[in-house]
Amino acid sequence: MVSAVSDVDGEDIGTVVDFRGRPFDKSSTGGWLAAGLILGSELAERICVVGISMNLVTYLVGDLHIPTAKSATIVTNFMGSLNLLALLAGFLADAKLGRYLTVAIFSTITAVGATLLTVATSIPSMRPPACDEVRRQHHECIQATGSQLALLYAALYVIALGGGGIKSNVSGFGSDQFDVRDPKERKAMFFFFNRFYFCISLGSLFAVTVLVYIQDNVGRAWGYGISAGAMAIAVLVLFGGTPVYRLRTPQGSPLTVIWRVFYLASRKRKLPYPAHPSLLNEYHTAKVSHTERLRCLDKAAIVDANDNGQLENGAYNSWVVSTVTQVEEVKMVLKLIPIWSTCILFWTVYSQMTTLSVEQATFTNRHIGSFVFPSGSVSVFLTLTILIFTSLNEKVIVPIARRFTHTTQGITSLQRIGIGLVFAIMAMVASAIVEKQRRIIAVRDQIQISVFWLVPQYFLVGAGEGFAYVGQLEFFIREAPERMKSMSTGLFLTTVAMGFYVSSLLVSLVDKITHKGWIRSNLNKAKLDYFFWMLAVLGVLNFLVFLVFAMKHQYKVEKHYDKTMEGDNENELKDWKNNGSVIEEFEKKEAVEGVF
């Protein structure tokens, strides 16, 4: 017999066993030993992915002689795929493999990809002939051929597959090592998420400082080799800790429920609506109240004459007719789409910090005495700003906001997102202004401005992420159906993926429409500031659309208060809200996967 575990709301969330499939023993499994071994996988993944993404564009432009626009597209497609594949890996873990097996498999895949990348950058035949500055300025450098890029592309997308699998499951696997029924272990789990975030930050800082420096000054193969070695060690450590892990059995993916509702609604689209919603399947026992919006989906819950022979233990087969609860949960997911769509552009702006802004840095004065500041390391200001504003949000901004709003939350999730979008607009304005001045001074005075002129744009994007990241994660988790909260993180990550893909699309379109006039390998002859201004204008339009959607959105929890607390004692309502905020915070921390 295995041990069933319930979350803080008392809902069964699966069984937990040891690696032999037996009931777990608290004295020999789980806890900080198991969680610490799992954190090693996340630390190695951050070192690997950030060390590649933050400095890849300089390798593509400088060593492979690929045009800046195409190089930026390669990087953003890589990062977009990594975040999109996280959704696939999350589905596999929930539906079949479980978190342990998924993390183990995809960590191994990441190590293989990093090894391939090391090989691709160490073999001389995988690079075109070296090109001096004179030939570079006259566009006479020989670009890498398709065969030379084949191994590089294969390595990048193997890493994207592996990194996505780790990203979507490692924090959940770590939280599985603590029993939420035990107050002591539940408290320890909150510290786990703090340390999880610390590992993310530590890995990112190491990557953008030490690894980037090694890549630029010692050799790419050395830098990527360290990443491959870190992943290989993490895999060995992960497998070595197998006897001490607590393993949660897979419970099935919410994506299956969503697909099933759409399938049944399509199959039954010609059926007439029932005279009253109470005739829908399991209307009276539904955990979510029936609504009139998106009535076309209600057809999935219509019981017709052909369904009567499909009863199993008093209930209909789920592939024959859906329940009202399942239909309403899908409706709730669809209600998130408008806000989801307006969050994409923030990550489009964010992606510039890993591509075009890094290329900007190569055209600045990066000397600090005898030390040359690596262009890829300028993103360290982004990481530091994120850490600063994340701390300020919880320690300063939210407490002050609580005094003015008289609410536990202080700043709502949509307000956080809105503030992040404003910071993104400001960042693109700052980028455009700095780039124009950089180009004027470089052409007119033949000198380079200091790399630290780029700090404001990194600071503004980092500040924006401090608000937008938390706001988006909180929004998708709070507003998602109760049984689909694990999927909400995947939905959040798709906004990140789409942001990178939109960046690739915009760069490609601009490059084609302007006949390579705005984005060129020699930024002194380009009009990169025009591209940044375009993003700023798009940001303003996107923000206006966001305001419309945000004003029309009704928070799920607020509607719940109205239905259940009307006429209740004010102090009881306040206590209920405070208790709810604790549960929501627990759920928010449990779903943290991050984009770091």
Q: Which pLDDT belongs to residue 583? A: 39
Do 585 and 194 meet the contact criterion of CB atoms below 8 Å apart? no
Q: Which pLDDT belongs to residue 11? A: 41
Band of pLDDT at residue 310, cut at 50, 70 and 90: low
∠ CA(87), CA(89), CA(91), 5° rounding? Answer: 70
Q: Which pLDDT belongs to residue 60? A: 93
The mean pLDDT value for 182-210 works out to 80
| Alpha helix segments (H runs only) across 480-517 | 485-513
Q: Which pLDDT belongs to residue 191? A: 72
Q: Which pLDDT belongs to residue 192? A: 78
Band of pLDDT at residue 495, cut at 50, 70 and 90: very high
Q: Give the residue, 9 or 407, on which the prediction is more confident.
A: 407
Q: Which pLDDT belongs to residue 7? A: 47
**pTM of the predicted model, to two decimals?**
0.81
Q: Which pLDDT belongs to residue 562? A: 40
Q: Which domains are delineated in the chain?
A: 14-252 (1.20.1250.20), 254-322 (no CATH), 334-570 (1.20.1250.20)
Per-residue model confidence as pLDDT tens digits over 60-90: 988 899 998 999 999 999 999 998 888 888 8
pLDDT at 125 over 80: yes
Lowest mean pLDDT among 131-135, 156-160, 364-368, 452-456: 131-135
The mean pLDDT value for 108-120 works out to 95
| Torsion angle defined by CA atoms of residues 526, 531, 533 and 538, in that order, rounded to the nearest 10 degrees | 170
Q: Which amino acid is at 568?
A: D
Q: Which pLDDT belongs to residue 565? A: 39
The mean pLDDT value for 528-537 works out to 96
pLDDT at 329 over 90: no
Q: Which pLDDT belongs to residue 590? A: 40
Q: Give the residue, 83 or 305, on which the prediction is more confident.
A: 83
92 CB burial (10 A radius; 0-12, 13-18, 19+): buried
Q: Give the residue, 208 or 424, on which the prediction is more confident.
A: 424
Residue recorded with tokens 């160490």: 122
Q: Closest Cα to residue 275, out of 300, 294, 297, 302?
A: 302
Strand, helix or coil for residue 489: helix
Band of pLDDT at residue 307, cut at 50, 70 and 90: low
Mean pLDDT of the chain: 83
pLDDT at 25 over 70: yes
Q: What is the DSSP string of 190-242?
A: HHHHHHHHHHHHHHHHHIIIIIHHHHHHT-HHHHHHHHHHHHHHHHHHHHHTG
pLDDT at 454 over 60: yes
Lowest mean pLDDT among 161-170, 174-183, 506-515, 579-588: 579-588
The mean pLDDT value for 159-185 works out to 86
Q: Which pLDDT belongs to residue 308? A: 62
Q: What is the Cα–Cα distance from 428 to 532, expressed in whole angstroms?
A: 5
First to last CA, the chain: 39
The mean pLDDT value for 496-522 works out to 93
